Amino acid sequence: MQQEFSSQISPPLLIEGSNDDLGLESKLLELPLYEFSVEMNFTGKEVAEVFEKYPLLPGAILLNKGKYAGMISRRQLLEFLIRPFGKDLFFHQPLSTLYSYARTPILELADTTSILCAMQFTLRRSPEFLSEPIVVKTTSDQYRLLDMQELNIASWQIRGIETQVRYERSQAQIIQNDKMASLGRLVDGVAHEILDPVNFIWGNVTHVSNYSKDLIKLIEIYDHNTPNTPDDVLYLKQDIEFDFLESDLSQALASIRTGAERLKKLVTGLQNFCHIDAIYPKPVDLHANLDSTILLIGSRLKGEINIIKKFGHLPPVYCFSGQLNQVFMNILSRAVDTLLDEAVRQQFETELSEESSHKPTIEIITKVISQPSNVPGSLDFRWVSICIADNGPAMSYELQQQIKASFSVDKKADKETSLAVSYRIVTGRHGGKLNFFSQLNKGTEFEILLPLV
């Protein structure tokens, strides 16, 4: 794309962009850019001749003694030349004279600016400047021009990719919801089948306890009123260790009662956790949901992790109970995994250094908070806050950035993480917020904010 000119203006050069397919994070440097700059002492006629030879050239970078001074577009030059007497006034005048009349706002962006952000900046310009080319500054302090047509085409391509990503995410969420609903129905059926015999045991253990006490009393009365007990009875009492049986029977029945009570709580918690959500949200006691989730992960704590509950006074919250249970489980499971790994590491270091370490702890705090509204004169927003914090090691900066990136709807992830699913449930399904903080020596805290209707 080079031709010879009679003037001293160097011919323009088209720098092709990247051959790779455009993506959501593509930058301006991946698009075709024009490299064409002229000194301001050249005349409008000389620049017009260049524009005539290169009909796709959007404009020219203006230099003042080799330094960047501005930009004049093809449209601006043409508008000045077609004015009455414009050709006589500006055709043979230096560009500095013409530019002093044609000075307009110039959009200047770095070549590392994403294409989508660049498109947003262009749309903020006044309507008469929407077609003006963009000045792109490279990392080596060179200035190039980007035609708006190229930016529009690239933006539409990326919007198509973004739409596809959103569609795939929505389909993945539908499949995930269907899986959770199917699993919930299956678990609910199993829990119901378990709960029937548990209720049978629970309902009869009281009667068995009373019957056994009555029988023991009856035997005591027989012993008291029978001075000469038959040898067969004495041998049998000795064979079955009647004295031990009498003292241990009540303890065995108490153990059966305790086991049945624990099993009943576990099954009830399992039913609450696998609650099948309706089409519309319903008022839910979030403390019961948290208790059910803690009960289900209790077997993983292994007595090594303390769970401290600081529950405030919460009103019923309209939400999808089953989906929020999934969020609680995802966050608590992550905290348990982190603390168990840290416990193993500290145990190994303690054996070497003979120093004591702090007890792994998960703290759950619930309360109602108020946040000021951005609209003057309106009431403050009220939120239900559920904070789940652990005293484990802090996340690395890279891991925090990865988690935040997975929260973005515009990013296409190879594998949907549990925290990303939790973020979409809280924000997309409930209109809430999911924040997390991680600092050295302070552990990690996840804060779930749900709006109060």
Convert the pLDDT of each residue in 239-297 to its tens digit: 888 888 888 888 888 888 888 887 877 777 776 666 655 667 888 899 988 988 888 78
Predicted confidence (pLDDT) at residue 6 exceeds the cutoff of 60: no
pLDDT at residue number 3: 45
Convert the pLDDT of each residue in 175-231 to its tens digit: 666 666 666 666 666 776 777 787 778 778 888 888 888 888 888 888 888 778 788
Convert the pLDDT of each residue in 387-410 to its tens digit: 999 988 888 888 888 888 777 655
Q: Are 44 and 98 in contact (CB under 8 A)?
A: yes
Distance (Å, rounded) from C-alpha 137 to C-alpha 119? 16
Q: Are 432 and 450 in contact (CB under 8 A)?
A: yes
Residue bearing tokens 């991680």 = 438
How many Å from the N-terminal Cα to the C-terminal Cα in the chain? 64
The pLDDT-based confidence of 26 (bands split at 50, 70, 90) is: confident
Task: Return the minimum-mean-pLDDT range out of 45-59, 89-103, 306-320, 356-370.
Answer: 89-103
pLDDT at residue number 179: 64
pLDDT at residue number 164: 73
* pTM of full prediction above 0.75: no
| Per-residue buried b or exposed e for 260-295, using 16+ beta carbons within 10 Å of the residue's own CB | beebbebbbbbbbbbbebeeebeebebbebbbbbbb
Which residues make beta-bridge pairs with 447?
Answer: 387, 435
